[in-house]
Amino acid sequence: MLITHGLPDRVSGNALRRSQELASSAEAAFRLVCEVEKWPVWLSFLVSSRRTDDGGPLALGSEVVLRGAIPGEREELYEVDQFLDGHIVSLVGAYSLRRRIDFRIERKRERSKIVVRVDYPAYGGMLGTLIDRMTARRRLDALLGDSLLHFKGLVEFKAGPEDILADF
């Protein structure tokens, strides 16, 4: 069952969207997405992430504080506004509804796919939008692509601790 509140999602034409095929189950991928404290390990545009609530399972209404390369470079509060267990985690900025980060896991038999969408406003009219597209948004798009490769490596890694140095 989809749990959501607020206005229906409006997709911005400026949103960054990337996807990555995974050779792992959708359940394993979704578990990694729900581990907020580990996001800076694979989301290379984040410096830190933490939950503000009690640390129970990620759910609708959970609050997450992010610090990263998303314009502003300071800690920003986000709230989970859409949550479908095993499939969707959607964050919206607590102070700006135009700031949004969406994670979606798609099941494809024994494989899966992660789709990530990042959206934030560019201020300053046409000139500000143009400058943002040439600088920060281009950098963020490249980092998002790299991040999904990191995610793929983490979710597909199946070796036990004894196997890590087995070939040395």
CATH topology of domain 16-158: Alpha-D-Glucose-1,6-Bisphosphate; Chain A, domain 4 (3.30.530)
pLDDT tens column, 41-83: 999 888 889 999 877 889 999 999 998 765 556 888 999 999 9
In sequence order, the 6+-apart residues with CB closer than 8 A to the CB of 9 are: 82, 90, 100, 102
pLDDT tens column, 63-74: 999 987 655 568
pLDDT at position 138 is 76
Domain residue spans of the chain: 16-158
Nearest alpha-carbon partner for 19 in 158, 154, 152, 155: 152
Question: Sign (positive/negative) of CA torsion 68, 69, 71, 73?
Answer: positive
| Other residues' Cβ atoms within 10 Å of the Cβ of residue 91 | 24
pTM of the model: 0.79
